[in-house]
Structure 1
Amino acid sequence: MRIFTLILLLFVSFLTTNCGNSKSKSSTQFNNLIWSDEFNDDGPINSEKWFLQTQLPSGGDWYGGLVNHYTNRTENSYVKDGFLNIVAKKEIFNDQGEIKEYTSARLNSKFAFTYGRVEVRAKLPTGIGTWPAIWMLNKNIDEPGAYWQKQGFGTTYWPVCGEVDILEHWGKKQNHVQSAVHTASSAGDDVVNIGGQVVENVSNQFHIYSIEWSEEKMVFSVDDVVHYTYEPSVRDSETWPFTTDQYLLLNIAIESDVDPSFEESAMVVDYIRVYQ
């Protein structure tokens, strides 16, 4: 009887451990590190790996009614003590004939890849109106001022090119992190390919934000806990423009409903690693 009871307890424990959680653990098929930035050298960002995108879109505002300039100044992006700091600041800044009251930075990677796993260990800014993101765009996007556009690859408009949001976080929804996939069939305010989870202390503790991108699907997770899988039943140009190279972007946007008392906050990144 005791042996039967022990077996029963072990079986119940197995069910609880493996079936009791609504979120699953991620697994990986990508283990070969092909690109990274460990941010070990203090000073400006590594210009061999990153491009600071500053050119305003036509109309003088960044998409979504943002109220910030992106700059290439070290006040808004720098490396110190082994960490990348992307800093959003409240300050009057005049650039390209436009005066704005907030500044930040938007980094484009000079590396692009097709399929793999991305891991970013980061702490997020805080404050209503802050909108940090770790994401990817196809290097064929037609976006004047972007790095790959300047290299002659800009042929396709958003969202047809495809966008992958590994992480988004809004200060007005503190600790709720979100991932999304934008395509011709799901974009902007009408995006339906979306998922997220609540993660404690995203602004005070480091967490690992990840995507696994294969030929069939994309799996998004935080600290290996999966919160969204994008796996369309039909993969065509409308739903799956993800068969060619994408590049990484990191930025903090400032929304128009920013808290008037906001002064400064940073996204702090320990490392970025890409595996295939």
Structure 2
Amino acid sequence: MKNIMKWMTACCMVGFSIGFYSCNKEYVDLEYKGNIDLNQLNLVQARAVWNGAECNLNVPELRYDPEKTPENYSYSLSTALYQERVAGQDNTVDLIIDTDSLNTAIAKSSEGGLYAKYADVELLPEEFYQLSSDKLTLLAGNIFSEEATLLMFSQNLVDYIQKEVKQSKTYVLPIRIVNSTSYQINSKVNTLMYFVTATYVKEEEEGSEYFPVTDVPEIGDAYGETDLKLVWHDEFNGTGVPDLEKWRFEEGFQRNEELQWYSEQNALCEDGALVITGKRQRVENPNYEAGSTDWKKNREYAEYTSSSIVSKYRFRYGTMEVRAKIPTATGAWPAIWTTGGSNDSWCWEWPLGGEIDILEYYLVGGVPSIHANACWGSDTRWSARWDSYNRPLADFTGKDPKWASKYHVWRMDWNDQYIRLYLDGDLMNEIDLNSTSNGTGGLSDWWRGSWRNPFRDAGNDGENFGQQIFLNLAMGGNGGTPDLSKLPMEYHIDYVRVYQKAE
């Protein structure tokens, strides 16, 4: 979240600096006086946006809208010589956040005029933007330097205004070029400032679907039965990491050649929910081997991070209910799923232990879709037989444009005849357990799960066989290429509850 916010802020600030230093001759004297070095550097930015009449670049107003996610803003920064001459030699400059210039303008705001717009502004906090580089390099023979990118994270800033500040604010980000290695810098055109105004919207009373719930029913129902008792749950009401007595973290690259590196740092409990955050964040792969054919080893870096937690609890039969709010940006692959396992790690390897996808969200033929699936073993090792179902996201957002901003309830009812998967009470898929017996699994080993039914079988003696719960946010893969303008993305889980018949 901090990285995204950094990108957003940086973008907004750059435009303002240009205006302050190079546009208003009433306050800044830029007239030629005969001794200007024609090689003095100037900062070039957003020429297509700036028409010369107004140098202060203002990001479009940001405000909370439950029906629309604000887009992140990205700007390209570069340097050029005076009058955009061809560089005769290589030159490098540093990019800094020029707080001194901003503070000077704020101090002069009472004078009015050009400085009036600095009244009540603040420096944009670094968690709302990200600058791709702190240097610009102008190579000999070129007019413009290589570009750096400033990304401002709109959604994070809007959330901050709505939840923390609770009043409208204007922020400024001043970016300045210094320490030129070959050419002098014109001090009157060396700073860019971005203005961004985030408007607080007082929300009307909204339904409880927007917020975590706090009541925990001790009795559940399924198949018309009302004698189900709460046997295991996590309400995620703490602060910080989830309960490690109940969950373990997956680490690193895991499956499906996805893009993210799973890290425990991306899952935290806050405000009554578990929040899993998917970020654009480079992580060095400690298992890297150049030339390896193993996808987990031939990537020197992961460019994204996220989290996946797995329950230490296993169960057979009953009702499992999860209330969650999922990210729907391109590249997101949130899931609520289970796999069969036991204390004997060499038994019931996937898919012989069975898999139940209570929720998966990813693209089908380029169409964002919500899935409800189950699978079990075929006659080929690591190859599954599937009972799959998916429905386009548009089916839900067409009925409720605010669907993606709300919490929803995913439920699995499981007895010895059927597995039924629901979304907000609507049946998504029904799996007949008469059809879910494994093939050989490529092993032809009954003890390891061949020919057995993972959704009916109690497992081998003493191995504690059952389904364990996964909550994860994958990135890439079936989810598509992540939309950088929507990062970071957040997956909120309010609770996980399992109900079973009292014995």
TM (normalized to structure 2)?
Answer: 0.43
2:429 alignment partner, one of 213, 216, 228: 228
- In the alignment, structure 1 residue 160 sits paired with structure 2 residue 357: no
- Deviation at residue 234 of structure 1 after TM alignment: 4.1
- Deviation at residue 199 of structure 1 after TM alignment: 3.0
Tell me the amino acid that sits aligned with residue 220 of structure 1. Answer: L
Gaps (5+ residues) in structure 1?
1-25, 57-61, 141-150
Structure 2 equivalent of residue 36 of structure 1: 233
Instruction: Answer whether contact 2:351 2:384 (CA < 8 A) is retained.
Output: no
Counterpart-to-counterpart distance in 2, 1:37 and 1:90: 29
Task: Give a deviation string over 1:139-193, Cα, whole Å, max 9, x none.
Answer: 23xxxxxxxxxx543423211221111100126644x311111111399997540
- In the alignment, structure 1 residue 265 sits paired with structure 2 residue 467: no
Q: Secondary structure at the match of 1:182?
A: strand
Counterpart-to-counterpart distance in 2, 1:186 and 1:223: 36
2:411 alignment partner, one of 197, 210, 213: 210
Q: Is the alpha carbon distance of 1:105 and 1:154 closer, same or farther for their aligned partners in structure 2, counting shifts above 3 Å?
A: farther
- Deviation at residue 113 of structure 1 after TM alignment: 0.6
- Deviation at residue 264 of structure 1 after TM alignment: 1.0
Tell me the amino acid that sits aligned with residue 273 of structure 1. Answer: R
Q: Is the alpha carbon distance of 1:166 and 1:153 closer, same or farther for their aligned partners in structure 2, counting shifts above 3 Å?
A: same
The within-5 A match list for 1:67-106 is: 67-73=259-265, 76-97=266-287, 98-106=300-308
Q: Which has the higher helix share?
A: 2
Counterpart-to-counterpart distance in 2, 1:186 and 1:33: 37
Q: Please, what is the CA RMSD of the aligned residues?
A: 2.4
Counterpart-to-counterpart distance in 2, 1:207 and 1:189: 31
Tell me the amino acid that sits aligned with residue 356 of structure 2. Answer: V
- Deviation at residue 259 of structure 1 after TM alignment: 3.2
Counterpart-to-counterpart distance in 1, 2:409 and 2:344: 33
Counterpart-to-counterpart distance in 2, 1:240 and 1:80: 39
Structure 1 equivalent of residue 72 of structure 2: none
Instruction: Answer whether contact 1:52 1:107 (CA < 8 A) is retained.
Output: yes
Structure 2 equivalent of residue 144 of structure 1: none
Gaps (5+ residues) in structure 2?
1-221, 288-299, 440-451, 459-465
Structure 1 equivalent of residue 327 of structure 2: 125
Tell me the amino acid that sits aligned with residue 71 of structure 1. Answer: S
Q: Secondary structure at the match of 1:32?
A: strand
Structure 2 equivalent of residue 246 of structure 1: 467
Instruction: Answer whether contact 1:68 1:101 (CA < 8 A) is retained.
Output: yes
Q: Rg: which structure is higher?
A: 2
Structure 2 equivalent of residue 185 of structure 1: 378
Counterpart-to-counterpart distance in 2, 1:91 and 1:186: 40
Q: Secondary structure at the match of 1:199?
A: helix
Tell me the amino acid that sits aligned with residue 432 of structure 2. Answer: E
Q: Is the alpha carbon distance of 1:33 and 1:66 closer, same or farther for their aligned partners in structure 2, counting shifts above 3 Å?
A: same
Instruction: Answer whether contact 2:341 2:348 (CA < 8 A) is retained.
Output: no
Q: Is the alpha carbon distance of 1:203 and 1:186 closer, same or farther for their aligned partners in structure 2, counting shifts above 3 Å?
A: farther
Instruction: Answer whether contact 1:218 1:230 (CA < 8 A) is retained.
Output: yes
Counterpart-to-counterpart distance in 2, 1:232 and 1:35: 24
Report sequence identity in percent: 27
Structure 2 equivalent of residue 146 of structure 1: none
Counterpart-to-counterpart distance in 1, 2:332 and 2:483: 12
Q: Secondary structure at the match of 1:203?
A: helix
Counterpart-to-counterpart distance in 2, 1:240 and 1:202: 37
Structure 1 equivalent of residue 244 of structure 2: 47
Instruction: Answer whether contact 1:177 1:199 (CA < 8 A) is retained.
Output: no
Structure 1 equivalent of residue 337 of structure 2: 135
Structure with bigger RCO (C-alpha 8 Å, 6+ apart):
1
- Deviation at residue 132 of structure 1 after TM alignment: 0.7
